Structure 1
Amino acid sequence: MSKSACGARQDSEKESQKGEYYSFGRIFSLSVPVMLGFIPLGIAFGILAKSTGISLFIAMSLSLITYAGAGQFAFLSMLSVGAGFFEIAVASYFINLRHSFYAMTLLRDYKGLGFKFFNIFALTDESFAIFKSLNIADINTRTKVFSLINLLTYLYWAVGTIIGYVAGSSIRVDYSGIEFCLTALFIVLALEMFKAAPSKLVLSFSILAGVLSLAFVPDRFMLIVAIMACFIFILFFKDKL
Structure 2
Amino acid sequence: MVETKQINIVVAGPRGRMGSETIRMIIGTPGFRLTAAIDDGHDKEKVGELLGISELDVPVYADIDACLSAEHPDVLIDFTNPEAGKRNLQAAIDFGVRPVIGTSGFSNEEVEGYQKLMEEKKLGGIIAPNFAIGAVLVMKFSQMAAKYFPDVEIIELHHDGKKDAPSGTAIKTAELIEKTRKPKKQGAPDERETLRGARGADFDGMRIHSVRLPGLIAHQEVLFGSKGELLTLRHDSMERASFMTGVRYSVRTVMSLDTLVYGLENILD
Q: TM-score, normalised by structure 2?
A: 0.23
Q: Which has the higher strand share?
A: 2
Q: TM-score, normalised by structure 1?
A: 0.24
Which one has more relative contact order, counting CA pairs under 8 Å at least 6 apart?
A: 1
